[in-house]
Amino acid sequence: MPENTMTIASLLDHNAANAGDDPYLVDAITEQSQAYADMTTECRVFARQLSALGVMPGETISVFLPNGVNTAKIILAAMYGGYIINPINLLCQEKQLAYILGHSDTRVVFTNSELEPLVAAAMQSSGTRATVMTVSATDPALPTLTLAPLPASPRAPVPASQPALLMYTSGTTGVPKGVMLSHANLLASARAIAAEHLLEKSDRCLCVLPLYHINALVVNLLTPLLSGAAVIIDSKFSATHFWPRVQKFQCTWINAVPTIISYLINDETPCAIDRSRIRFCRSASAALAPFHHKSFEERFGIGIIETMGMTETAAPIFSNPYDPAQRKIGSIGRPSGVQATVVDKEGNPLPAGQKGEILVRGENVMLGYYKSDEQTRKTFTHDGWLRTGDLGYRDADGFYFITGRVKELIIKGGENIAPREIDEILLLHPDVLDAAVVGIDDKHYGQNIAAYIVKRMTARDDDDLIRDINQFCLKELGSYKSPAAFRFVAELPRGPSGKVQRLKLLEL
């Protein structure tokens, strides 16, 4: 089958016919596995049940559930039937949930008994009329939706160009934006991941990232489907259970975010397991500090492949090479499955070494923002490049480096300061566990720098610690880039992908 005509349904059908007894989804807790043939049969029945309920292909099905094999199956089964699946971030409060349910034109919402009251309240406040199905994320089988007679035959196949996923980005301001991704977008991204990491049918990966985020959905769920491999679904990340489960299920690679990498580095629980099967650790969704990169590799003996992606591009657009000798610490890598360029404020391409905004284009780039033509137009250039909103540069070898975000730049006395540079210096201090900086109003400079710090356990008092960190910054950054204010917090506000939501720091 030509790659550009492939859909989630055709891929599941292909695997069922050619590797039907091979495992696809494995429950990390119960150890029960679901073979490709059984999975595809369940998807087919589930899609026909939705049709019997009067839900038409192309309409939206929302999922507001924690991780579990059943959550993964509902997502895949909806796509199989030609429906648009809308996985919703579990961190949503009532107001945001109400907006998403209303804006997405949701017909059916799958949730559990614990979250159902929140869904009911959100639907009432937004005036949303949808069928609510209360299920368990950990059930071994898809739920029975209706006992009514099912359609005798499936509907016509859905084209690969049709939307399969509607995912709302968290953003730092304003209402969430609904990113529309087609079957072709999603599978183009999965192909790029499999090619970059040399993934095969024999590979296995533990999924601890939330399936409501593009990283887990594409990297952990769809890429193994494309490779005919298996994925082990865990309920959530646990430093205590992570390595034992990686070994128990003989995982060959790891998909993580910098927060998880930081937790693993700082976890002092003894865990003597054999890591020889693990070929690499993939890091994505947020910038990985070089200090954490090196610390992880030194402690666990597993090389990290740093990557970078967006919801708007169905996950990855940059990746470091598979060959460890070719990787560059601190770089997001080279373009993966896309074309990329760096431009100045007027949109003119910049040569290697010069900083500007990074633009990309390729088969995995979104169809657009749902019901927001104006926002879509603003996000693309006139000649079809997607504005990533990331500032950076590429070196002479074609590797890209991120220096900050367009909207997160701190402008102090007319000089642009990229917050990430300061973050990475703060993380080098032995008493700093996590840190992020943001611009604050200053009557002299227009903006100055405030550092928000999660400190390690220490007997030192706060004033003494601030003096020490300040001296450290002055030495490493100089007075102009050193923070003018230091504030200790219990944790940093992060979006579903793990990125620090800098503007929310100002609300703490």
Walk me through the domains of the chain, giving residue ranges and CATH numbers: 3-142+160-185 (3.40.50.12780), 409-505 (3.30.300.30)
Q: What is the pLDDT of residue 156?
A: 75
CA 490, 495, 500, 502 dihedral sign is: negative
What the block records as the tokens of 462 is 């706060």
**In tens digits, what is the pLDDT along the chain, a chain of 508 residues?**
567 789 999 999 999 999 999 999 999 999 999 999 999 999 999 999 999 999 999 999 999 999 999 999 999 999 999 999 999 999 888 888 999 999 999 999 999 999 999 999 999 998 999 999 999 999 988 989 988 788 776 667 889 999 999 999 854 445 789 999 999 999 999 999 999 999 999 999 999 999 999 999 999 999 999 999 999 999 999 999 999 999 999 999 999 998 899 889 988 877 778 888 999 999 998 778 898 999 999 999 999 999 999 999 999 999 999 999 999 999 999 999 999 999 998 999 999 999 999 999 999 999 999 999 999 999 999 999 999 989 999 999 999 999 877 777 787 876 778 888 899 999 999 999 999 999 998 877 778 999 999 998 877 889 999 999 999 999 988 888 999 999 999 999 987 667 888 888 888 8
Q: What is the pLDDT of residue 170?
A: 59
Q: What is the DSSP secondary-structure string of 113-143?
A: TTTHHHHHHHHHHHT---EEEE--TT-SSPP
Q: Is 232 helix (H, G, I), strand (E, B) or coil?
A: strand
Q: Report residue 107: phi and psi, to 5°.
A: -100, -35
C-alpha dihedral, 353 to 358 to 364 to 369, nearest 10°:
180
Q: In what order do the strands lie in the sheet with 334-335?
A: 33-35, 23-27, 230-233, 204-207, 253-256, 280-283, 304-310, 315-319, 334-335
What the block records as the tokens of 501 is 């939501």
Quick one: which of 308, 303, 304, 311 has its CA closest to 319?
308
Q: What is the pLDDT of residue 153?
A: 65
Q: Are strands 410-412 and 163-169 parallel, antiparallel or unpaired?
A: unpaired
Q: Are strands 400-405 and 386-394 parallel, antiparallel or unpaired?
A: antiparallel
Element (H, E) at 226: helix 223-227
Q: How many residues does the chain have?
A: 508
Q: Are 437 and 452 in contact (CB under 8 A)?
A: yes
* DSSP letter (8 states) at residue 393: E
Q: What is the pLDDT of residue 2?
A: 64
Element (H, E) at 440: strand 432-442
Q: Report residue 355: phi and psi, to 5°.
A: -85, 140
Q: Are strands 386-394 and 177-182 parallel, antiparallel or unpaired?
A: unpaired
CA 254, 209, 47, 33 dihedral sign is: positive
Q: Are 359 and 381 in contact (CB under 8 A)?
A: yes
pTM of this prediction exceeds 0.85:
yes
Q: Are 211 and 87 in contact (CB under 8 A)?
A: yes
Q: How many C-alpha atoms does 260 have within 13 Å on its Cβ side?
A: 25
Q: What is the pLDDT of residue 95?
A: 86
Rg (CA), the chain: 23
Spatial distance between the Cα atoms of 275 and 292, rounded to a whole number of angstroms? 19
Quick one: which of 226, 221, 231 has its CA closest to 74?
221
CA 291, 296, 299, 302 dihedral sign is: negative
Q: What is the pLDDT of residue 172?
A: 41
What the block records as the tokens of 68 is 């579990």
